[in-house]
Amino acid sequence: MSKALFLDRDGIINVDHGYVYKIEDFEFVEGIFDLCRLAIDKGYQIFVITNQAGIARGYYDKTAFEVLSKWMVDAFAERGITITKVYYCPHHPSKGVNKYVMSCDCRKPEPGMIKQAQQEYAIDLVESIFVGDKVSDMQAASKAGIKTRILVDSRYTNEPLLEQIADVIRLDELNKADKFIK
């Protein structure tokens, strides 16, 4: 079995400007490439696990998201970093304008996307790491059995549930996460 570095997208890979779906609005977070290079050097595969409720809300469609994702994966590849796969949830349980308004098991805090990656790539979740900026990222990782969960300080870290997640590692900056990659 292999180990994985799971990354949320908005707020971890790119600056979270809210519903980013255009290349011209995509701004990489400082330190993300170094973190990913280190993970690959330590034997991790890299996966993106992202909620994309903008699809359910009609702000953009799956095609726009997939075009941006391909561009992002290519930008990593140009720097010698392979993103194995991007998993995304287009659903929202209550808000939206199309067929993606529904409850599902893939939208974080549910672990569906992580479990799908585990099944498709034989990942040892206990040896894997999840880096996110929201409590829902940590909850999905916990439900999937990922022990190392890194919560990067963001505008979301004031959420009330934060204090209930005892083994979350709070960081001021993404570039400090490298000490947890072994």
- Strands ordered across the beta sheet of 168-171: 83-89, 44-51, 3-7, 129-132, 148-152, 168-171
Torsion (CA) 175, 126, 86, 110 in degrees, nearest 10? -110
Angstrom distance (rounded) from CA 122 to CA 56: 30
Annotated catalytic residue 16: no
Annotated catalytic residue 153: no
Two tokens, residue 39: 């993970």
Choosing from 10, 16, 133, 137, which is the catalytic residue?
10
Q: Tell me which residues are annotated as active site.
A: 8, 10
